[in-house]
Amino acid sequence: MSLSYTQIGLIAVVFAVICDLFVFRTRMITRPIFWTSYAIIFFFQLITNGMFTGFGIVKYDGEAIIGNTSPESGPPPFIGEGRLAFAPIEDLLFGFALVLLSISLWIFWGRRGVERTPMSGPPVWVRSQNQD
């Protein structure tokens, strides 16, 4: 069974949300500051994805994404046919999952004291073993 880019994107979002709410319990998606930060990231994601896709640096198989634009039919539309700023909508799913999971992990490990203050040297678990 082969999954499409759309299906993998949706799975990534569901996975990131489950990790945020139930595994790491950081609940980032319930915080207004997350959505404010994500809006800024979203804006720049549209610019970079649009440049890569609009200039033809990155091309997608039309059968694997929403919409059916193929590289042979010329440049992708700016908006429409499953695209926003030239890039497939699915890229926004992956971007959201990446940002949410990264922030959730950052907070999760920060709560456990992993590198709470920057320092050089061996990792925390090696330092604690050497002190015994």
Model confidence pLDDT, tens digit, residues 35-92: 999 999 999 999 999 899 888 888 887 777 887 666 566 778 888 888 888 888 999 9
CA 54, distance to chain mean position in Å, is 20
The pairing of beta strand 83-84 with beta strand 87-88: antiparallel
H-helix segments, 71-113: 89-111
- Look up the pTM and report it: 0.78
The position carrying tokens 């039309």 is 62
- CA-nearest of 93, 98, 95 to 82 is 93
